[in-house]
Structure formats: structure tokens, C-alpha cells
Structure 1
Amino acid sequence: MQENAEITQDLKKKQILEAAKQVFGKYGFSKTTLDDVATAVGMKKASLYYYYSSKEDLFRDVVKSETDELIRELETNIFKLNSISEQLKSFVKIRIDYLNRLINLHNLAASIIIEVRPICENLYREFSEKQVEIVSRILSDGIKNNYIRNLDVNRTAKLFILAVESITMRDIWKSKFTADIDYKTIEDDSLFLTELIINGLKK
């Protein structure tokens, strides 16, 4: 009985998350209320409080479900490619496409992205660590295949993620509206940086 109850709770939570994605996308983070989400999922607000006590907690779980999806997408697609150059460039492109989808899905104004970052700080840290693991694996394979010189893969991966993140945040900071974010420039600059790094690491 307890197992069935847990399954039911998990299914309900998934329904809430799916409804929340739609509601955040329609109204944006700032204007969305738990009442809106409760109405969308067809339950009373008091019942919704059993799962989420605040809009911030709900938004955090929505973002986590999507970052988990991104990590799966990265791991599924990147390691099918043969060279470190293709893998790192694919990493950059998939990551930027994800950012574009995330911002547009939730109707996030550029200023709101900065606002919600503290809400998701622990999640952001965990997400960064997973990205570092992926890039470290790419670099380790490059060393094993004698394509790049021996180096501290973890430190290099962290700096690579930091550099790509800085390029992204630069454009978000200077964009007042979501439509102002220049994803092409973000991608071009990130790929240019990636090429510089790869050439610097080659044997």
C-alpha cells in the first residue's frame, strides 16, 4: 500500500511539474502564482502546498527536471562523436540551445534570470559539477588517444565551463529583454574560444 501511495505521489508531482512549465511559460516567473499552477493541474491550492510550499521551490524543481534532461542529452549525443574537437563544440552548441529553450519556455526576462539565480544556487552548483564531469571525460579521452597533451583535466574542465558561462552571462547582463539576447554571438564566441583551447592543448 505504501509503495502504491508513493507511486501516486510521484505521478501527481510529475503532473504538477508539467503544469508548472506551461504556467511559467504563459505568465513568466514573476507573475505566476501557486493558485495559477493549482488551477492548471486541477487541484486545490491547499493540496498543492503538500508538494510545494512556495513558488520558488516549484520553479527550482522545474529547472532541475530540465537541467537533468540537458545532462542526458549531452551524454547521449557527445560521446557518439569521434574527436575531442567535435565533442567540445557539440557540448557548447547543445548547452546554448538549451539556454535558448529554457528562457523562451518560461518567458524569462533577462533581468529575471539574474533574479532567480540565487533561488537555484545549489542546483546551479550541481549542474556545473555535472558539466565538469562531462568535459573532464572528453579531455581524459583526448589524452588517452594521444590527441592532447597531459594536463589537470578537472581544473581545465572547470575553467572551460567558467569561460563559456562568462560569455553567456555577458550577453544576458547587457540585454534588457529576452529578445535582445544574441544567441548567435554567444555561440560564435564560445566556439571560437573552444577552438583556441583545443589548439592550445594539441600535442
Structure 2
Amino acid sequence: MTDTLQVSQGQRGPADHNVRDQIVQAANEHFSRYGYAKTTVSDLAREIGFSKAYIYKFFDSKQAIGEAICAACLTQVMDGVLKAMAQANTATERFRRLFLSLVELSAQLFFEERKLYEIAAHSVSEGWESSRAYETRIQELLTAILREGREGGEFERKTPLDEAARSIYLVMYPFINPLMLQYNLDRLPDAPREVASLVLRSLAP
């Protein structure tokens, strides 16, 4: 099941134009080698063989290009999370798989695609639309799991649903926020498992 994070801010021209895809692919490769911060639109123009002005016909800034790449990376993580959740039969197990797969896949991106991970971290610090959409989707999934668990008698019902979802998300945040996870890597995988177990104990009816 694909849960695409749609981010169109800063994009120009026809949405399906193959030149845009070519720019994004070249930028992806360039960012992977040199990093987002050290790359300019002029660098990308030289890499692709286009003029800078031509690139600006499709993206209004370097950030807009970064948004497209970041959205693709976060969509890949979310696809893996949804796949893991689909294998669960209870709300309890669904929550555990949501949290632990988010951590595992994010850490995997950190170790295997470090430069692209840095774009995701940059998007969080700068408040990009791609990271906001990603966080909103996680919160929606968490709320749905809590609602399912309450309806099935797995979770307590005394705490207002929005308060419970917000509090649990804050507990998860240091391990699922790309900017913060990089400082908690030495606590993996034990800490997220312990946090998940603690949350589930607090949800017991």
C-alpha cells in the first residue's frame, strides 16, 4: 500500500514533465555525493547541462528541489511502515510495529543514505512542507490505532483521545524525528522497544 506524501510547493510547469524528473534525479545524485547544504542551483545546472534559468522554470528554489527528494524519501519510509502494520492483527501489535518500523527504517536511511537523511533532518529544522506532511501522517496513524484499540477493548478510554495521541507522539518523537534520531542511535534498538512497552502498559484498560 503506497501512502505518498504530496508536496508541490515551489514546483512550476507541468507536473508530469520529464525534465522535472531529470532535475530531481540529478539533484538526488548530487546531494548524495556532496550534501544538500554544499550544493547550489548552479552546481545542479552544470551537472545536468541546463542553464540555471531553465531549472527555475520547474522549481523556484533549491529548497523546492529538496522538498521533492525529501518527500520521496519519507514516502519510502512510510510505505515500509504501512507494510509492517498490515501484518499486525491487533491494535497493540499495530502500535508496536508503527513505532519500531519508523525507527528501524529511519536509522537504515541514516546509515545507508546519509546525505539524503541530512536533507530530511534539514527539512525538519526548516519546517518544510514534506516533513510537516510526514509528521501529520504519523499522528493520523497513531490516532487510528488508539481508536481501534479502544473500540476493541485493548486500550483504556478515560483519557481524551486527542490528549492520549498527542502525549504518545511526544514520547515517540526523539526516535522518529530525523533531526533528533541521529543523537539517539546508540540507544537502538533497546530504547524504542522499552518505550513501546511502557506506552502499551499505560494504555491497558
TM-score category (smaller protein): 0.7 to 0.9
Contact 1:81/1:87 (8 A) holds in 2: yes
Consecutive unaligned residues in structure 2, runs of 5 or more? 1-12
Please report the RMSD computed on the Cα atoms of aligned residues, expressed in angstroms.
3.1
Measure how far apart 1:198 and its partner are: 0.5
Measure how far apart 1:64 and its partner are: 1.6
- Tell me: CA distance 1:102–1:58, structure 2 relative to 1, closer, same or farther (3 Å): farther
- Tell me: CA distance 1:171–1:21, structure 2 relative to 1, closer, same or farther (3 Å): closer
- Tell me: CA distance 1:81–1:39, structure 2 relative to 1, closer, same or farther (3 Å): farther
Alpha-carbon distance in structure 2 between the residues aligned to 1:51 and 1:125: 23
Single out whichever of 96-105 and 15-24 deviates more from structure 2.
96-105
- Within 5 Å, give how 1:41-190 maps onto structure 2: 41-104=48-111, 105-107=113-115, 116-150=123-157, 151-167=159-175, 172=180, 181-190=183-192
Aligned to 2:50, the other structure's residue is in SS state coil
Aligned to 2:8: none
Match for 1:201 among 169, 180, 203?
A: 203
Given residue 202 of structure 2, which amino acid in structure 1 is its aligned partner?
Answer: G
**Identity across matched positions, percent:** 17
Given residue 28 of structure 2, which amino acid in structure 1 is its aligned partner?
Answer: K
- Tell me: CA distance 1:137–1:89, structure 2 relative to 1, closer, same or farther (3 Å): same
Contact 2:85/2:94 (8 A) holds in 1: yes
TM (norm. structure 2) is 0.76
Alpha-carbon distance in structure 1 between the residues aligned to 2:15 and 2:176: 39
- Tell me: CA distance 1:103–1:187, structure 2 relative to 1, closer, same or farther (3 Å): same
Given residue 81 of structure 1, which amino acid in structure 2 is its aligned partner?
Answer: A
Aligned to 2:26: 19
Q: Which is helix-richer, 1 or 2?
A: 1
Contact 2:102/2:176 (8 A) holds in 1: no
Alpha-carbon distance in structure 1 between the residues aligned to 2:144 and 2:151: 10
- Tell me: CA distance 1:102–1:44, structure 2 relative to 1, closer, same or farther (3 Å): farther
- Tell me: CA distance 1:75–1:50, structure 2 relative to 1, closer, same or farther (3 Å): same
Measure how far apart 1:144 and its partner are: 1.7
Alpha-carbon distance in structure 1 between the residues aligned to 2:71 and 2:192: 24
Consecutive unaligned residues in structure 1, runs of 5 or more? none
Aligned to 2:68, the other structure's residue is in SS state helix
Contact 1:171/1:186 (8 A) holds in 2: no
